[in-house]
A and B are shown apart, each in its own frame.
Chain A
Amino acid sequence: MTFWPAVWLVVLALGVGGFTVVSILVAVKGYAEIKAILHKLKSGPDEGRDRRPS
């Protein structure tokens, strides 16, 4: 009766822990991507592609 609870505890720890880490990454890096999209849309698709930093 201890095997399955241990399995589920590991699955939950991985799931919730991984979710937390990826969510922090998404919050920080997603903001920079929003600014890049706004820049691209304002300058038009072709111009935006040309101006994107390499």
Chain B
Amino acid sequence: MSLNAVDVAIVAGYVALVLYAGTFARKSIRGLAGFLVAERSMGLHLGLASLIASEIGIITYMYLAEAGYRNGLAALIIGLPFFVVVLFLGRTGFIIKPLIELRIMTLPELFERKYGRGVRFLAGFLMAVGGLINFGVFPGVEAKFINTVTGLPQDAVLWTMIGLLAVVLAYTALGGMVSVIFTNYVQYILLSLGMIFLTVFGVLKLGWPRIVASSAEAFGPKGLNPFAAGSPFGLSYVLWQLLFQLSVLTIAPYITMRIFAAKDARTGARIFAWSSVLFLARAIIPVFWGVMALAYLTTRPEDPLQALPLMIAGLTPKGLLGLLLAALLAASMSTYASYLLSWSSVISQDIIGVAYERLTGRRLGDRSRLLVNRATMAAMILFILWWSFRFQSEELLFFYLMLAVNLFLAGTLVSAVFGLYLHDRRFGLLRGRRWGAYAAFILGAVPTVLFFLPAHPPVSRLGLWSYILALSGMVGGSVAQNLLDPDAPKGEAA
């Protein structure tokens, strides 16, 4: 085992601290708004900590470091679209501001107001499926990481992951968003310390010239220049990623829940403006670790995903390894907590809640919704453990993760833009309507379904096509409904 007694004590102490902080919040929870959006009380700095902590996990480090390890310094271009889109959202409040002003708890609620309950149900269903098959690979990949860094046997890693998930389930199900905000704060401090330490320590140990030389030697000009011939990046990649990140950052539930928990629309927009530099760091630091691994490792691992944990285990002095591992576990636990809360709220509010209302004609009470939410979380834990250890794909992990959420992303972005900005009679035939929303969701999901077929087009083309299809579906469906059924029926906003 690579850890010594001090390392183990640091990790155990950290887990105990997080569990205490999370369950402490339980006493303060009253009702669903307290549980899901913490009474909309989150300020700028906690908002930043929560957004970044939930958006960084071991899985983030793994797939971004893989990109750096396989493409050299040129892969740092990955950070650019994040930075530009987050800055744009912070400056303009595009989509974010109207969503906060509508005071909704989940995005499908917007679709019910604009397009009717059926669209809300479809959106919730696609979000839940896409979210779960994305989230479902996290424990398996992260178990490999912990296995390599700690030297623990694979069986022990499985139980470690189950233990961690149980801790996350305990504090999230008990304390909801308040717990998530508190624990995210502790986790953010730890993970930022760990990220800064590993980067500075690695550069001092390896030296900048050696890092640059290893990229150039391994890949030639395209290892440094992302626009060089033969590079997997280039202009088309940047354009596609701008669109993709715009969708993720405005409509993915694990991000929008942070924004809905903000005190007001201005705070929500400020969280984005300030987080632009954090999102830049979130992307480039792990990519750079992958480049450092390229310079550090003399023997190339068979599985490129293993490059990062091998470097961390070899490079970090004992004693510090415990602190770094606690920081990395912190990053993952906050991601699990956030994803559990956001996906379970989509399932309980937008699928079970809507179906119950449809079948019985009554709304679920606050107490029943909380109960359903907690039961959903427990069921999700079982599902992701099962999916995680049966998942296999020959594609890059990065591509799989993007295409999984693309199941709902394109349809949601297009429907949200039409619902918020193109929804009154001034827009004539182009006014966003229910048929358009249905078509956008269904057509936007087709490329992800194709991805699971044995032979499919290149992933970047599938990703772009999902947006083109969703937009075509919205325009075609809305024009058809505006021609054939110009008056908004009951349940659809005029």
Question: Could you tell me which A residues sit within 8 Å of B by CB distance?
Answer: 1, 4-5, 8-9, 11-12, 14-16, 18-20, 22-23, 25-27, 29-31, 33-34, 36-38, 40-42, 44-45, 48
Asked if A16 meets B285 with Cβ closer than 8 Å, knowing A23-B188, A23-B192, the reply is yes
Q: Is B456 an interface residue (CB 8 A)?
A: no
Asked if B73 contacts A4 (CB within 8 A), the reply is yes
Q: Is B435 an interface residue (CB 8 A)?
A: no
CA gap between A43 and B53 in the complex, in Å = 28
CA gap between A38 and B38 in the complex, in Å = 10
Asked if A27 meets B189 with Cβ closer than 8 Å, knowing A20-B196, A45-B39, the reply is yes
Q: Which A residues are CB-close (under 8 A) to B216?
A: 1
Asked if A12 meets B30 with Cβ closer than 8 Å, knowing A4-B225, A19-B281, the reply is no
Asked if B39 contacts A15 (CB within 8 A), the reply is no
Q: Which B residues are CB-close (under 8 A) to A5?
A: 73, 208, 212, 224
Say which residue of B28, B42, B225, B277 sits within 8 Å of A38 (CB atoms). Answer: B28
Asked if A19 contacts B30 (CB within 8 A), the reply is no
CA gap between A1 and B212 in the complex, in Å = 10
Say which residue of B33, B43, B278 sits within 8 Å of A19 (CB atoms). Answer: B278
Asked if B280 contacts A18 (CB within 8 A), the reply is yes
Asked if A9 contacts B208 (CB within 8 A), the reply is yes
**Interface code B43-77, partner A: CB below 8 Å = 1, 0 otherwise?**
11110110000000000000000000000011010
CA gap between A28 and B182 in the complex, in Å = 14
CA gap between A16 and B200 in the complex, in Å = 9
Asked if B39 contacts A11 (CB within 8 A), the reply is no
Asked if A19 meets B41 with Cβ closer than 8 Å, knowing A1-B224, A4-B225, A26-B48, the reply is no
CA gap between A26 and B43 in the complex, in Å = 11
Say which residue of A8, A20, A41 sits within 8 Å of B73 (CB atoms). Answer: A8
Q: Which B residues are CB-close (under 8 A) to A34?
A: 46, 181-182, 185
Say which residue of B74, B185, B281 sits within 8 Å of A18 (CB atoms). Answer: B281
Asked if A16 contacts B281 (CB within 8 A), the reply is yes
CA gap between A50 and B361 in the complex, in Å = 37
Q: Which B residues between 188 and 221 are near A, CB-CB below 8 angstroms?
A: 188-189, 192, 195-196, 199-200, 208, 212, 216
Q: Per DSSP, are chain B's interface residues mostly helix, strand or loop, or mixed?
A: helix
Asked if B278 contacts A25 (CB within 8 A), the reply is no
Q: Which B residues are CB-close (under 8 A) to A40?
A: 39, 41
Q: Which B residues are CB-close (under 8 A) to A29?
A: 44-45
Asked if A44 contacts B30 (CB within 8 A), the reply is yes
B9 to chain A, nearest CB (A): 23
Asked if A22 meets B212 with Cβ closer than 8 Å, knowing A4-B73, A4-B224, the reply is no
Given A5-B224, A37-B178, 20 further pairs, Cβ under 8 A: A1-B224, A4-B74, A4-B225, A12-B199, A12-B284, A15-B277, A15-B284, A19-B285, A22-B48, A22-B274, A26-B45, A26-B188, A26-B192, A30-B49, A31-B185, A33-B42, A33-B44, A37-B46, A45-B30, A48-B41
Asked if B28 contacts A42 (CB within 8 A), the reply is yes
Asked if A14 contacts B46 (CB within 8 A), the reply is no
Q: Is B115 an interface residue (CB 8 A)?
A: no
CA gap between A12 and B212 in the complex, in Å = 13
Q: Which B residues are CB-close (under 8 A) to A36?
A: 41, 43
CA gap between A22 and B278 in the complex, in Å = 8
A24 to chain B, nearest CB (A): 9
CA gap between A40 and B274 in the complex, in Å = 25
CA gap between A26 and B114 in the complex, in Å = 37
Asked if A18 contacts B277 (CB within 8 A), the reply is yes
Q: Which A residues are CB-close (under 8 A) to B44?
A: 29, 33
Q: Which B residues between 263 and 285 are near A, CB-CB below 8 angstroms?
A: 274, 277-278, 280-281, 284-285
